[in-house]
């Protein structure tokens, strides 16, 4: 459905994209991740024909974004970060206007608008002016305009930006439903949305693609997970016995405000479970076990590993080495 080959975009001496390539199959939901300034929005603007690339090629459903831009636009629904709405228009009038400029035949417009209204949960506000709506409902209207012409591809740039937690969940559920009918590229800083919705993740950093795989494969590539143990115990005895139980493993101990101890034990992702051995040690010594939890690698850990500046990574490592617990 989408092919990007050696795509490059320069702004004078600045290189926003440095020759990236990727493909998106029909029906895939892609999480497109990267820190601010990585090149995400630039890529989306090229795919939606808002920007011309400096070099390289991009096609949507076989049509080149430069040579056949009108055919590409007819196949794409686009929700940019700043939702394009006319506040003085009523919701139903605005969607009718969008359907018209998108070329929906007049005899099919009513059905197309009803479908978009139903999918986006706008039935109760269709008679209101857009300026009267909450941020969450305005975002739904933005999604409705993106799907009113039933495009093959949806490109969503920060669709939950500025929403409160309840609104984020509502829009996330909506994106999941839309992903059942469309090819979707979802760019966001909320990694939970990608974990819930995306079948594949592309990470871009400084204009280059640094990862392209399924979420599970990316998480599995992380070198270790961590076991957290929260206990009440004598510090010296705990240190001695844990090092005897887990020779050669890194154990970081933190004393909390209530004098309890929290340990973080690094374990390889392929090693046998250690939780039972740890629990037995605590019980044998009559210590109080307050928490025993394996912190498995997450998509956030992958993202930080791929995009964190080297100095920040070194600072995290130094903090862990001094006995401070470094958390992602």
Contact 6, 46 (CB under 8 A): no
* The pair of three-digit structure tokens given for residue 41, joined into one six-digit string: 């929005």
Domain boundaries, the chain: 2-219, 223-296
Higher pLDDT, 200 or 174: 200
Helix (H, G, I), strand (E, B) or coil at 320: helix
Compute the mean pLDDT over every residue in the chain, rounded to the nearest whole number: 86
Q: What is the CATH number of domain 223-296?
A: 3.30.70.3100
Asked if domains 2-219 and 223-296 share a fold, the reply is no
Least confident segment among 49-58, 121-130, 292-301? 292-301
Predicted pLDDT at 223: 66
- Tell the residue number behind the tokens 């939890």, with chain if given: 293
List, in sequence order, every residue forming a beta bridge with 63; answer none if it has no partner. 60
Q: Give 146-182 pLDDT, tens digit per residue.
A: 999 999 999 998 888 777 788 778 778 877 887 888 8
Q: How far apart are CA 268 and CA 225, in angstroms?
A: 6
Centroid of chain to Cα 56 = 26
Packing angle, helices 135-147 and 91-101, rounded to 10: 30
Helix (H, G, I), strand (E, B) or coil at 214: coil
Q: How far apart are CA 119 and CA 139, in angstroms?
A: 13
Average pLDDT on 5-13 reads: 94
Return the percent helix, strand and coil in the chain, to nearest 5. Answer: 40, 30, 35
Average pLDDT on 13-40 reads: 92
Q: Give 99-127 pLDDT, tens digit per residue.
A: 999 999 999 999 999 999 998 889 999 99
Contact 161, 91 (CB under 8 A): no
Q: How far apart are CA 61 and CA 153, in angstroms?
A: 9
Predicted pLDDT at 218: 86
Contact 231, 62 (CB under 8 A): no
Residue 326 binned pLDDT confidence (cut-offs 50, 70, 90): very low
Residue 310 binned pLDDT confidence (cut-offs 50, 70, 90): low
Average pLDDT on 261-280 reads: 78
pTM, two decimal places? 0.75
Q: How far apart are CA 240 and CA 261, in angstroms?
A: 14
Determine whether domain 2-219 maps to CATH 3.30.2270.10.
no
Dihedral, CA of residue 137, residue 71, residue 7 and residue 194, to nearest 10 = 30
Predicted pLDDT at 196: 78
């Amino acid at each position: 459905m989408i092919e990007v080959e050696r795509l490059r975009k320069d702004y004078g001496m600045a290189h926003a994209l440095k020759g990236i390539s990727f493909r998106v199959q029909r029906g895939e939901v892609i999480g497109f991740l990267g820190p601010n300034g990585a090149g995400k929005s630039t890529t989306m603007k090229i795919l939606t024909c808002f920007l011309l690339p400096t070099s390289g090629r991009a096609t949507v459903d076989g049509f080149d974004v430069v040579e056949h831009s009108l055919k590409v636009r007819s196949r794409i629904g686009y929700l940019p970060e700043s939702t394009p709405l006319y506040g003085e228009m009523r919701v139903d009038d605005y969607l009718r206007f969008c359907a018209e400029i998108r070329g929906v035949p007049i005899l099919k417009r009513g059905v197309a608008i009803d479908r978009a209204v139903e999918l986006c949960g706008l039935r109760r506000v269709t008679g209101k002016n857009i300026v009267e709506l909450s941020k969450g409902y305005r975002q739904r209207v933005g999604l409705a305009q993106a799907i009113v012409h039933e495009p093959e591809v949806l490109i969503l740039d920060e669709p939950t930006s500025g929403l409160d937690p309840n609104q984020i969940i509502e829009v996330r559920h909506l994106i999941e439903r839309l992903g059942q009918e469309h090819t979707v590229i979802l760019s966001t800083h909320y990694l939970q949305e990608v974990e819930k919705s995306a079948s594949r993740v592309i990470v871009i950093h400084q204009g280059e693609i640094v990862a392209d795989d399924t979420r599970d494969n990316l998480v599995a590539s992380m070198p270790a997970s961590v076991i957290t143990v929260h206990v009440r115990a004598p510090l010296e005895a705990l240190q001695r016995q844990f090092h005897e139980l887990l020779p050669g493993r890194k154990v970081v101990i933190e004393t909390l405000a209530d004098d309890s101890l929290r340990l973080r034990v690094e374990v390889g992702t392929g090693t046998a479970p250690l939780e039972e051995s740890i629990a037995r040690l605590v019980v044998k010594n009559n210590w109080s076990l307050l928490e025993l939890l394996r912190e498995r690698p997450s998509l956030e850990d992958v993202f930080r590993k791929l995009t964190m500046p080297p100095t920040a990574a070194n600072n995290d490592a130094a903090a862990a080495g001094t006995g401070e617990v470094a958390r992602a």
